[in-house]
Structure 1
Amino acid sequence: MSIQPDKPGTDDPGRGRRLGVDVGTVRIGVAVSDSDARLATPVETVPRVTGLKDRDGADIDRLIELIADYGVVEVVVGLPRDLHANGSSSVRHAKEFAFRINRRLTGWDDQGRTIPVRLADERLTSVLATRALHMSGHTTKSGRGVIDQAAAVEILQSWLDARANALSATDVEDGS
């Protein structure tokens, strides 16, 4: 499957919170950034109910609620790819969720603006999240929901760091 992740900083919406989403087949991990888009923190794990051919379910509705509650300016959905940058079978799920969220956010506010939904490379995020969980003394079984949130934090923090680098590089090029 040949789908490329988006590049942080491109068409950047500016200051504001970002929502990170780790789409799994059973659970969806969610993280949010601070309003300066510097630090990602876990929010919750949403049970996955919407299948690929289903109507939007309670999981999509919950993500939309979180976007509204946090005043999000950009949504970052993890794009699962292997170490060789090839798409895995989970790419379709991530892409479908990004599409569904994007469709619900088109013309989102009273000025008709749309909140951008980005796909971010999420290689190794679950591995890093699982390792961090084990280091904190939890087992994989007891911490499954926390792993999903931690993976969402890894996805979003990687995006935020790459965004900061891209924006500072643009500032340097512009002579700012």
Structure 2
Amino acid sequence: MGARTLGIDLGERRIGVAISDTGGRVATPLTVIQRSSSPTRDYQHIAGLVTEHEATAVVVGLPLSLDGGSGPAARRAEHEIHQLQAALAVPVLAHDERFTTVIAERALAESGLNGRARRRRIDMVAASIILQSWLDTQVP
């Protein structure tokens, strides 16, 4: 059995989570974690998913500016990535997530889901796009 990777889309209210197949080729939306008042509790939830799915790494979306620079959102994500690295027993890697939410929103709109259903799924779909993008860079 191969290694699985967890993909994370850090939102202000929700954390989208995706998982790769054991071959490291395909990302699938997994779940959405509603943020609690405790980042530690949220990270424990992610740690539980790492253990449950036997993930060997976590890829977190890094919202770079259109020009590739680090704006306020990227700096917040970088800070949270450092916190996740301290909380998880597997490597935590940052990956450029520019346009992933736009792509996810478009895909969900084209699927015919209404606004409420799209909002419930957008974060985990964005996480799967982030993870798929990273997986595509890993395959020779």
Matched positions, count: 139
Structure ranking higher in helix proportion: 2
2:5 is equivalent to residue 18 of structure 1: yes
Amino acid at match of 1:19: L
The answer for the alignment partner of 1:86 in structure 2 is 69
- Percent identical: 39
Distance apart, 1:93 and its partner CA: 3.0
Structure ranking higher in strand proportion: 2
Give the conservation status (yes or no) of the 8 Å contact 1:29–1:145: no
Q: TM-score, length-normalised on structure 2?
A: 0.91
* Cα deviation digits, residues 85-110 of structure 1 (max 9, x gap): 122322133222211221122xx3xx
What pairs up with 1:45-64 in 2 under 5 angstroms? 45-49=32-36, 56-64=39-47
- C-alpha RMSD over aligned residues: 1.5
Q: TM-score, length-normalised on structure 1?
A: 0.74
Distance in 2, matches of 1:134 and 1:87, equals: 29
Give the conservation status (yes or no) of the 8 Å contact 2:44–2:87: no
The answer for the alignment partner of 2:95 in structure 1 is 120
* Cα deviation digits, residues 81-132 of structure 1 (max 9, x gap): 1221122322133222211221122xx3xxxxxx211000001000000000
Which of 1 and 2 has greater Rg?
1
Q: Unmatched 5+ residue regions in structure 1?
A: 1-14, 109-114, 169-176
What pairs up with 1:1-176 in 2 under 5 angstroms? 15-49=2-36, 56-105=39-88, 108=89, 115-164=90-139, 168=140
Give the conservation status (yes or no) of the 8 Å contact 2:5–2:58: yes
